[in-house]
Amino acid sequence: MTLELAYTPVSYNETRYAHWAVARRHASQLRDDLVTLLRASHAPAAGPDQRITASAHLRFPTRRRRDTGNFRTPLEKALGDALQIAGIIHDDTPDLYTLDRLRFATQPGPHQTIITLDYEPLETTHD
C-alpha cells in the first residue's frame, strides 16, 4: 500500500529547540494527516501473524545534502502513532512496525512524501 503527502515532514532540526507547542503542532499535524490517508485508503488491519514494514521517499524543491535522521525521527513516530490510531496495528512496538528505509529523491521537485507499507509475516523465534 502507498500513501502520499504533498509535503515533507518538518526536520527535527527545525523543532529541536522550538517551543514545545510548536514541535507538538508539527507532530500532531503529520500524525493526523497520516491517519486521514490511512482511513481513506481502507487499509486492512495487520493480522495477528503480521507486521508492518514501512519505507519513505521524500522529495524537496531544492537539491542539497540532507540527514535522514532529521526526517526519520518525526516520520517514524507519527506513522507509528497513525497506524495504531487507524487500527492497523494494536501497538507501535518494533516487533509490529518499523520504518525500514528512508531515502531522498535525486531530482528536485514539489515537496512530496511517499510512504509504502508492506504487510509481512511476524518473525518467530524458536528456543
**Which letter does DSSP use for residue 123 in this model?**
P
Nearest to 68 by CA among 8, 25, 109: 8
Element (H, E) at 43: none
The answer to whether 115 and 56 are in contact (CB under 8 A) is yes
Query: What nine digits make up the cell of 20?
Result: 514545545
CA nearest neighbour of 79 among 112, 31, 111, 127: 31
pLDDT digits (tens, 9 = 90+) for 101-114: 999 999 999 999 99
Residue 124 near residue 16, CB atoms below 8 Å: no
Give the domain ranges of the chain.
2-121
Predicted structure pTM score: 0.89
Average pLDDT over residues 29-48: 94
Choose which CATH entry (3.30.2010, 3.30.200, 2.40.50, 3.30.1330) describes domain 2-121. 3.30.1330
pLDDT band with cut points at 50, 70 and 90 for residue 126: low
pLDDT band of 47, cuts 50, 70, 90: very high
